[in-house]
Each structure stands twice: as structure tokens, then as C-alpha cells.
Amino acid sequence: MSSEEILFLSSSDVQGLLTMDECIVAVEQAFRVYGEGKAHPPAVLSVHTADGGFHVKAGLLELSQPYFAAKVNGNFPENPKRFGLPTIQGVIVLCNAENGNPLAVMDSRDITSLRTAAATAVAAKYLARRDSHTVTICGCGNQGRVQLKALSRVRNLRGVFAYDTSEPQASRFVQNMKEELGLPITVVSNLAAAVRQSDLCVTCTTSRQPLLGPDDSVPGLFIAAVGADSPAKQEIHPALMAKSKIVADILEQCVVMGDLHHALVAGVVTRAGVYAELGEVVAGKKAGRESEEEIIIFDSTGMALQDVAAAALVYEKAQRQGAGIRFSLAA
């Protein structure tokens, strides 16, 4: 491929190139590099509309070569009902960070989905109890399915509770995931009761109100709060945040979006009270779980370096395999 050619990778290309296991390794390395202070803080720009919004996430990573990636995603929760379109749509532009040369343009949906779940898996690896085996998935859409797959890679799961406000969606989740993972999965209507019987919980919804309160937990619980990726969204009550050890993916993002944002506004948590960023834990600068009893919340707002790492992995595999379509912007 000449220096003027750009690689275009469709959704099907990305699906064929990016595996869950590879993504977890790449995302863990991105957190480690950032935690070691070897990567610039990533950037995010958000623009909101009445029914959704857009965000641009950008970052730099030194991998096999210096890479820059910028992801432009639209997030419109009503899309499936109103237009028959995915909730999340967008593209990632990958560039050579040494000279600015554009390398690839690729569909962002599967990268976003897998790298989000991979971050949960990395967090659970360091923050969940080693003997954790029961998980509650709150939100049974595509992200819920991918989150369960990712967790199954890092913990020996034996039982799953599935909660969703849509019973048909929860039923589809059970059918699909039982076939794929062979785990016993139970649809539940009482989220709090399920979480109190669990070792792990993932919330991946579009909720704008708390789904879990201070009494909806048990000692030793690990919660990955994934859904609150804008200031208006919320899944965890500030009082539950206040009684837990909080680990942020990127503190500066969680301060303005995510569930930490709401706890700060409520005045029950301070920035200084946040235990760590996940990168600090992965890099060994701070301990992960320090007792079997502590409740730990991973506030996951989506770090751009996850996108850089996953996009670079996809690009390099595509180069080796001859995948995608090549085009040029030159006149």
C-alpha cells in the first residue's frame, strides 16, 4: 500500500479481524501504558441533541509505530425503534502519529462495543474477587451480550442474572448467550435482589435515573458502570458511589460524565476521594482489590486510547491479510 493510499474497513471487515481475546490484551496494554505515564491524556468533545448526541474521542499511542486515532460516534438510543438503525454509528480515522499520514478509515461500532467490554474485563481482572462466579447483566442489548462474553474470559462464571425493562429483549439475550457460552442464565424482574446475589454486576443501559441504590449491594461486589457516557445519563445512586471504592477509566472524563459526575454534584464524593484510574492499577502504581469485603465501582466512560489500541490492531491485521479496500484522496 502506497503512502497516499488509505485503507477502508467495513463493519464486516472489522468483525472478521477483531477478536474479544485480542481486544482485551490490546486494551489492557493501553491502560498500562497510560498508567505508566507513557501516553498523552486522551481528549473528548461532546455535542448533544434532543434525541441523542455525538462525541469525538481522540488519542495517541506508541505501539509498533506511533498511532493517532479519532473516533466520531453518534449515539441515538431511539434509533432501533424510530428508524431501524443501530443506537451507535460512527467511524474511526487512524493516522501515523509521526507524520500525520492517514492510514485507515473504519466502521466504529464493533470496535466501540468490544473495547468497552474489554475494559470491563480488564477492570474485573484487577478489581473483582478471584472467586467471583455470579454476574448480573443490567441491560440486555448488544453491549450486554458483549460484556458477558468479555467477563467470561477473566472469571469462571457459573450463573448469570439478566435484567432489562424489555422482557422480549431479555429473553433473546438468554437464548443467544446460553447457546454461545453454555451458562445458566435467569431473567429477573427485581434488579436489586439479583445484584445482592451476585459477585459482579454490569450496568449498560441508557438510563437517566439511578438503577442501583446504597442498599442494592453486598460486601465484595464489583460493579462496572458502563452506560453513563454523557452528563444526562446515570445508573448508580450517589449514595452507593459514596460507600464504594471508585476506580475511573479517565478521571477527567468521569468528572463531567459518568456516575462519578452525579456523585460529585450531589456533594457526597470528592475528586480526592476517587481511589485511582484503572491505568494506575494495571501499571502496578496502586493496588487493586485490597480486601474481600470492599465494594468497588469501575466508572467506565470510554477512553480514547482503547480505540487507538483496537483500531491499530485491526489495521495491522488487515495489512497482513490483505483485507479492506484501498483508496486515495490525492487529486
**Domain 5-112+305-328 class in CATH:** alpha beta
pLDDT > 90 in the chain, percent: 91
C-alpha span between 3 and 102 (Å, rounded): 9
Distance of alpha carbon 92 from the chain centroid: 16
Q: With contact defined as beta carbons under 8 Å apart, do 196 and 205 qualify?
A: no
Q: With contact defined as beta carbons under 8 Å apart, do 241 and 259 qualify?
A: yes
C-alpha span between 143 and 211 (Å, rounded): 17
Q: Sign of dihedral through CA atoms 19, 91, 35, 246?
A: negative
Supply the angle between the helices 109-127 and 304-321 in degrees, to the nearest 10. Answer: 120
pLDDT band, residue 331 (cuts 50/70/90): low
- Mean pLDDT is lowest, of 42-56, 154-168, 226-240, 250-264, for 42-56
At residue 1, the pLDDT reads 55
At residue 88, the pLDDT reads 85
pTM given for the model: 0.95
Beta bridge partners of 68: 60, 95
Beta bridge partners of 106: 9, 92
What tens digit of pLDDT does each residue of 61-104 get? 999 999 999 999 998 988 988 999 988 899 999 999 999 999 99
Q: With contact defined as beta carbons under 8 Å apart, do 274 and 242 qualify?
A: no
Beta carbons within 10 angstroms of residue 308's beta carbon: 29
Instruction: Please give the angle made by the CA atoms of 305, 310 and 312, to the nearest 5 degrees.
Output: 95
What tens digit of pLDDT does each residue of 183-213 get? 999 999 999 999 999 999 999 999 999 999 9
Q: With contact defined as beta carbons under 8 Å apart, do 307 and 71 qualify?
A: yes
At residue 50, the pLDDT reads 85
Given a cut of 60, is residue 106 above it in pLDDT? yes
**Domain 121-303 class in CATH:** alpha beta
First to last CA, the chain: 17
Give yes or no: 71 in active site: yes
Q: With contact defined as beta carbons under 8 Å apart, do 220 and 243 qualify?
A: no
Given a cut of 60, is residue 232 above it in pLDDT? yes
Query: Which residue is catalytic, options 38, 57, 71, 233?
Result: 71
User: What does the domain layout of the chain look like in residue ranges?
Assistant: 5-112+305-328, 121-303
